[in-house]
C-alpha cells in the first residue's frame, strides 16, 4: 500500500475545503498555507503570520477539524508552524478568541491618576489635555460618539476583515496580535465609524480601562499648545496613561517631524505596556508619504485592514439601517435608486437620503422615485458619476424587464444570455474592473466568458439592426 505524504494529504484537504467556502476566502486564507510534514497522524502546516493562524482558528476551526478527521481518521490532528520574523515556531495548543458582550455605558472613562487634565471643550475649541495642572484625579472624556457602534455598523465583504479584527481587539485590547490595528480606506467608507465602534465596545467590555478617541489634527494642535506652554512632558505623560488609544486620520502627521517624534515615543511606551493602539488612514502604510520610516515600520507590527467600496446589497442595508434607526419608512424603489446612483461614498449616500427627506418634509411632498431623481441630479451635479457593474446590471435588467437575479443565474435562455452579455459588454466599456471581476459579478463567470461576450456583442452590433438599437438605447440610459 502506497504511503501518502503531507503534500498529498493537504491537497486532498484543500479539495474538500474549496467546496465548502467561497472562492475569495479560499484564495485568501488557504492557498498561502504550506504543508510541512506528516508524522504520527499529525499534519503540520505553515501559515504566514500569527494573525493568519488566529483567523483560521476563529473562523475555520470546525471545517479544518472535520477535514483532517476525514483524511487522517479519528486520531488525525493538525498543528501549525507560524512564521514570525523570518523564523517559525509550533503552536501545539492553539486558542480561540472569545468575544464577551456587555451593555454598560461606553463613553464614560474611569478616573486615572496623573498631574494633568483634559477638557472636552466646546464645539469651537480643540480639547486641550493640560488646562488644569496639578489635579491628582481627572476624568478623561473618551470623545466617542455613541451612535457609531457595532450595532449600527453594517457588515459586508467590503469590511468583514477590519470589523472582525476590530471586534476582537475591542474585547481583548492589547492582548491580540492586532496591535496596532491599522484601518485604511478611501474617504467616506466607514473608518471613523469603525474606530468609534471599537472604542465603545472596549469600554463596554472593560469599563475600568481608559479609552480615548482623538483625530490626528487634534493631536497636532494639542502638541503645538504644549510646546507653546513648555509642558511637552505633561503632554506625553497624559497619552501614556491611555489604555486604548484611537488616532483618526494619521496621514495628517505627514511632514510634521516633531509631532511624529513625540507620537513615536508615545506609541513605543503604550505598545511595550500592552496597551491597544488603533490607527486610521486614507492609505496603507506602504503608500504613506512624509511619515518617518521608524513609525511606518511600527504601523506594520500588527494588522493593516482595509475597507473597500460596499456592494449594492450593503449600500441598501446601510440605508435601511439609517431609516430604521430614525423610525422612517420610504418606498423601496427610492432606496434602491439611491444605492444604484451613489456607489463609492457611504457619507454621500447618507447625505443624499437626508436631503431627500428634508426636501419632502419642508415642501410637504411625498417621497417618490421622481423626487429622488431630482435630488440625485442636484447632488451629483458637479461630480463625475461613477458607473458601477451593479448599476449597469440594473439598467440592463430594467430595459429587458428581466430580474437581475435571473441575469446572474446559470440559465441558458437566449434572452437572458443576451442580457448577460450586454451587462458584461457595458461593464468592460464603462468601468475599470478587470475581466475576472466583471465575470464574478455577472453570474460567477471566468474572464474568457467575458471576452467572448464582448466579441459576440460587437459582432451583433455590425450584423443585427434590432440588437444595435438595444445597444444604443442602453448606452443612453447608462450615461444619464
Is residue 74 within a helix (H) or strand (E), and if so which, with residue range?
none
CB 417 within 8 A of CB 403: no
φ and ψ of 247, to 5 deg:
-110, 115
Q: Residue 137's pLDDT is what?
A: 38
- Residue 375 CA to residue 190 CA, distance in Å, equals 23
Residue owning grid cell 451613489: 342
Q: Go through the domains of the chain in sequence order and give each one's CATH number.
A: 6-91 (3.30.300.180), 111-306 (3.40.50.300), 312-379 (1.10.8.60), 389-479 (1.10.1750.10)
Q: Residue 83's pLDDT is what?
A: 64
Residue owning grid cell 472624556: 141
- Residue 81 CA to residue 44 CA, distance in Å, equals 7
Distances (CA, A) of 441 to 184, 265, 277, 436: 25, 47, 37, 9
Q: How many helices (H) and strands (E) does the chain have?
A: 20, 11
Distances (CA, A) of 458 to 137, 332, 414: 74, 36, 17
The answer for residues whose C-beta is within 8 angstroms of residue 389's C-beta and 6 or more apart is: 423, 427, 431, 433, 437, 438, 441, 442
- Residue 47 CA to residue 390 CA, distance in Å, equals 35
Q: Residue 196's pLDDT is what?
A: 94
Q: Residue 3's pLDDT is what?
A: 59
Residue 337, Cβ neighbours under 10 Å: how many? Answer: 18
Q: Residue 140's pLDDT is what?
A: 60
- Residue 156 CA to residue 153 CA, distance in Å, equals 10
Provide the sign of the torsion angle of the four alpha carbons 7, 2, 17, 404, taken in this order.
Answer: positive
Helices (DSSP H) in 173-288: which residue ranges?
Answer: 191-205, 216-228, 232-240, 257-272
Is the link from the previous residue into 180 a cis peptide, with omega within 30 of 0? yes
CB 97 within 8 A of CB 172: yes
Distances (CA, A) of 319 to 147, 154, 418: 15, 10, 32
Closest C-alpha among 389, 385, 394 to residue 437: 389
Q: What is the mean pLDDT of residues 1-10?
A: 75
The answer for residues whose C-beta is within 8 angstroms of residue 82's C-beta and 6 or more apart is: 46, 47, 49, 50, 52, 53, 88, 89, 90, 91
Task: Decide: pTM greater than 0.75.
Answer: no
DSSP E strand stretches across 98-201: 111-113, 137-139, 181-184
Confidence of residue 131 (pLDDT cuts 50, 70, 90): very low
Q: Residue 100's pLDDT is what?
A: 28
Does pLDDT of 198 surpass 90? yes
CB 369 within 8 A of CB 334: yes
The answer for residues whose C-beta is within 8 angstroms of residue 13's C-beta and 6 or more apart is: 43, 67, 68, 71
Confidence of residue 106 (pLDDT cuts 50, 70, 90): low
Segment 15-40, tens digit of pLDDT: 888 888 877 778 878 888 889 888 88
Q: What is the mean pLDDT of residues 375-394?
A: 66
* Range in 292-306, 334-348, 396-410 with the lowest mean pLDDT: 334-348
Q: Residue 227's pLDDT is what?
A: 87
Confidence of residue 281 (pLDDT cuts 50, 70, 90): very high
Confidence of residue 280 (pLDDT cuts 50, 70, 90): very high
Helix (H, G, I), strand (E, B) or coil at 13: helix
Does pLDDT of 381 surpass 60? no
- Residue 156 CA to residue 315 CA, distance in Å, equals 10
Q: What is the mean pLDDT of residues 362-385?
A: 67
Segment 47-102, tens digit of pLDDT: 877 667 777 877 788 888 889 888 888 888 888 887 654 333 444 333 222 222 23
Segment 260-274, tens digit of pLDDT: 999 998 999 999 889
Closest C-alpha among 251, 250, 258 to residue 278: 250
Segment 213-245, tens digit of pLDDT: 999 998 998 888 888 888 888 888 888 888 999
- Residue 443 CA to residue 352 CA, distance in Å, equals 30
Distances (CA, A) of 343 to 183, 401, 439: 21, 23, 19
> Which of 9 and 328 is assigned the larger pLDDT?
9
Q: What is the mean pLDDT of residues 283-301?
A: 88
Confidence of residue 188 (pLDDT cuts 50, 70, 90): confident
Tell me the average pLDDT of the chain.
Answer: 79
**Number of residues that this document lists for the chain:** 480
Q: Residue 169's pLDDT is what?
A: 92
Does pLDDT of 275 surpass 90? yes
Q: What is the mean pLDDT of residues 190-219?
A: 91
> Which of 187 and 279 is assigned the larger pLDDT?
279
Segment 418-473, tens digit of pLDDT: 999 999 999 888 887 788 888 888 888 888 898 999 999 988 888 888 888 888 88
Q: Residue 128's pLDDT is what?
A: 44
> Which of 187 and 384 is assigned the larger pLDDT?
187
Amino acid at each position: 500500500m502506497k504511503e501518502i505524504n503531507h503534500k498529498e494529504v493537504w491537497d486532498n484537504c484543500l479539495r474538500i475545503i474549496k467546496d465548502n467556502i467561497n472562492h475569495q476566502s479560499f484564495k485568501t486564507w488557504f492557498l498561502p498555507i504550506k504543508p510541512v510534514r506528516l508524522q504520527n497522524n499529525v499534519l503540520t502546516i505553515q501559515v504566514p503570520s500569527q494573525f493568519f493562524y488566529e483567523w483560521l482558528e476563529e473562523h475555520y476551526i470546525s471545517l479544518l477539524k472535520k477535514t483532517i478527521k476525514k483524511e487522517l481518521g479519528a486520531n488525525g490532528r493538525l498543528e501549525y508552524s507560524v512564521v514570525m520574523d523570518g523564523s517559525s515556531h509550533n503552536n501545539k495548543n492553539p486558542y480561540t478568541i472569545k468575544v464577551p458582550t456587555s451593555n454598560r455605558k461606553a463613553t464614560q472613562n474611569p478616573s486615572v491618576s496623573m498631574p494633568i487634565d483634559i477638557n472636552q471643550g466646546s464645539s469651537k475649541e480643540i480639547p486641550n489635555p493640560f488646562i488644569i495642572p496639578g489635579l491628582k484625579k481627572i476624568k478623561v472624556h473618551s470623545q466617542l460618539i455613541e451612535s457609531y457602534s457595532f450595532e449600527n455598523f453594517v457588515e459586508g465583504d467590503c469590511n468583514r476583515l477590519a470589523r472582525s479584527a476590530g471586534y476582537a481587539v475591542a474585547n481583548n485590547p492589547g492582548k491580540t496580535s492586532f496591535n496596532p490595528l491599522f484601518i485604511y480606506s478611501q474617504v467616506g467608507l466607514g473608518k471613523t465609524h469603525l474606530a468609534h465602534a471599537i472604542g465603545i465596545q472596549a469600554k463596554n467590555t472593560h469599563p475600568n480601562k481608559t479609552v480615548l478617541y482623538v483625530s490626528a489634527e487634534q493631536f497636532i494642535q494639542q502638541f503645538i499648545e504644549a510646546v507653546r506652554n513648555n509642558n511637552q512632558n505633561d503632554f506625553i505623560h497624559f497619552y501614556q496613561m491611555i489604555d486604548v488609544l484611537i488616532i483618526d486620520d494619521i496621514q495628517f502627521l505627514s511632514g510634521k517631524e516633531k509631532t511624529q517624534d513625540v507620537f513615536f515615543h508615545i506609541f513605543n511606551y503604550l505598545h511595550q505596556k500592552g496597551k491597544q493602539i488603533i490607527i486610521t488612514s486614507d492609505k496603507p502604510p506602504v503608500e504613506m508619504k512624509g511619515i518617518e520610516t521608524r513609525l511606518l515600520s511600527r504601523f506594520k507590527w500588527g494588522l493593516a485592514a482595509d475597507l473597500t467600496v460596499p456592494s449594492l446589497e450593503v449600500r441598501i442595508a446601510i440605508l435601511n439601517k439609517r431609516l430604521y434607526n430614525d423610525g422612517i419608512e420610504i418606498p423601496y424603489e427610492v432606496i434602491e435608486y439611491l444605492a444604484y446612483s451613489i456607489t463609492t461614498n457611504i457619507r454621500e449616500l447618507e447625505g443624499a437620503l437626508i436631503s431627500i427627506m428634508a426636501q419632502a418634509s419642508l415642501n410637504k411632498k411625498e417621497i417618490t422615485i421622481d423626487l429622488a431623481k431630482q435630488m440625485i441630479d442636484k447632488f451629483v451635479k458637479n461630480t463625475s458619476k461613477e458607473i458601477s457593474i451593479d448599476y449597469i446590471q440594473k439598467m440592463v435588467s430594467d430595459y429587458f424587464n428581466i430580474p437581475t437575479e435571473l441575469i446572474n443565474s446559470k440559465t441558458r435562455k437566449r434572452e437572458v444570455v443576451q442580457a448577460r452579455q450586454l451587462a458584461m459588454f457595458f461593464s468592460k466599456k464603462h468601468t475599470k474592473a478587470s475581466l475576472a471581476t466583471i465575470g464574478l459579478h455577472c453570474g460567477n463567470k471566468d474572464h474568457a466568458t467575458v471576452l467572448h461576450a464582448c466579441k459576440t456583442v460587437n459582432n451583433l452590433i455590425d450584423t443585427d439592426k434590432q440588437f444595435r438599437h438595444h445597444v444604443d438605447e442602453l448606452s443612453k440610459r447608462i450615461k444619464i
